[in-house]
Amino acid sequence: MRVLLEVMLPVFLVGGAGAALGRLTSLDATLLTRVAIYLFGPALIFRSFYTSSVAGGDALRIIAFVVSLQIILLTVSRLLGRVLGWDDDTKAAGSLMMTFANCGNYGLPVLLFAYGENGFALGVVYMLTGTFLHATLGVGIASWHRGMDPRTWLGRAIRVPWLYAFLLAIVFRLLGWELPVGIYRGVDLLASAAIPVQLVILGIQLSRVGLKRIGGEAIWLTGLKLALPPLIGWGLAAVLGAHGVLRAVLIVQASMPSAVNALILSMHFRRRADLSATVILLTTLFSLGTVALVLWLLGPA
């Protein structure tokens, strides 16, 4: 519990600062959202892939796990929206909240403290796979509207530069190119700003959320997000033959709360950002207990 509080306290401090800013001013988070979409986010994605060392059979298991888990969660979210009669914007926001998890700035510190450098390295592979799916599947979910011409949808999706940042980093890795030190430091500065800006945006959005009005939808999504992924993750880890630290990393990362990046997409494409912000708040708060429970059940890896 001490580790989780040490990880969560900075998150809540920065998000709380954003919430206070939202309460005290009439600041519109739209501009910050665009900066995060087009500048800080791509820099973080590029830096993450450019500096990573992804190799081996464990990486293939992690990729298979993340893809399978997210497809299952996306399917569950769409069925839930249909059963409960949600409109298209609520379905899109619900799918973003269910499918994507905060396995970077929350998951990685937890893994480092719980399982050391080995667990952290495996967690990075998990995060990078999720980031790629966020830049492709996530953008597709957020930008698609019923009856939309596929060409219009594709045009909107390709305007988000996350995928290009990923592809550029892969090109640099495959060709063995290195950025000049001065340029890399500039990219590094932009990337380092991404998570604090995302948390400030989250805080501003939360300061304007009416919890009672959307409580039912948020409760459904929060409950399923905290309960289903760890259970599915346990089964997928067994199917993929994951053991030891790898098994623990897969299950712990699957147990993370909803991703702040999903809120960024929800705001950018105007898909119930109020609902997304509430679900992120609730899943993050209650994950203090659920993640601690998962770590206890897993025991020493």
C-alpha angle with apex 146: 144 to 282, nearest 5 degrees?
A: 60
In the chain, what percentage of residues exceed pLDDT 70?
A: 91
Domain 2-22+29-298 has CATH 2.40.50.140: no
Tens of pLDDT, residue by residue over 191-244, are: 989 888 888 887 887 787 665 556 788 899 999 999 999 999 999 999 999 999
How high is the pLDDT of residue 128?
Answer: 82
Query: What is the C-alpha separation between 85 and 92, in angstroms, rounded?
Result: 13
Residue 159's φ and ψ, nearest 5 degrees, are -75, -20
Separation CA 196–CA 149 (nearest Å) = 36
19: amino acid identity, one letter: A
Give the pLDDT confidence of 73-82 residue by residue, as tens digits: 999 999 999 9
In the chain, domain spans: 2-22+29-298
**112 in helix, strand or coil?**
helix
pLDDT at res. 209: 67
Answer whether residue 54 shows pLDDT above 60: no
pLDDT for position 213:
58
Tokens read off for 17: 């600062």
How far CA 65 is from CA of 52, 73, 233, 299, in Å, comes to 19, 12, 8, 21
Question: Alpha helices, DSSP H only, in the chain?
Answer: 2-24, 30-35, 41-50, 57-83, 88-99, 107-133, 139-143, 150-157, 162-175, 181-206, 215-239, 244-254, 260-268, 273-298
Give 154-205 as a DSSP string: HHHHTTSTHHHHHHHHHHHHHHT----HHHHHHHHHHHHHHHHHHHHHHHHH
Q: Quote the pLDDT of residue 133.
A: 87
Confidence check: pLDDT of 61 > 80:
yes
Mean pLDDT throughout 275-291? Answer: 88
The band of 264, judged by pLDDT with boundaries at 50, 70 and 90, is confident
Structure tokens at 4: 């989780």
Confidence class of residue 157 from pLDDT cuts 50, 70 and 90? low
Residue 147 has pLDDT above 70, yes or no: no
Q: What is the pLDDT of residue 8?
A: 67
Q: In this structure, are residues 187 and 46 in contact, taking their beta carbons and an 8 Å threshold?
A: yes
**12-38 pLDDT tens trace:** 788 889 989 988 988 877 888 889 888
Q: Do residues 114 and 1 make contact, with C-beta atoms less than 8 angstroms apart?
A: no
Given a cut of 80, whether residue 101 has pLDDT beyond it is yes
Q: Averaged over 107-120, what is the pLDDT?
A: 83
**Angle separating helix axes 57-83 and 244-254, nearest 10 degrees:** 30
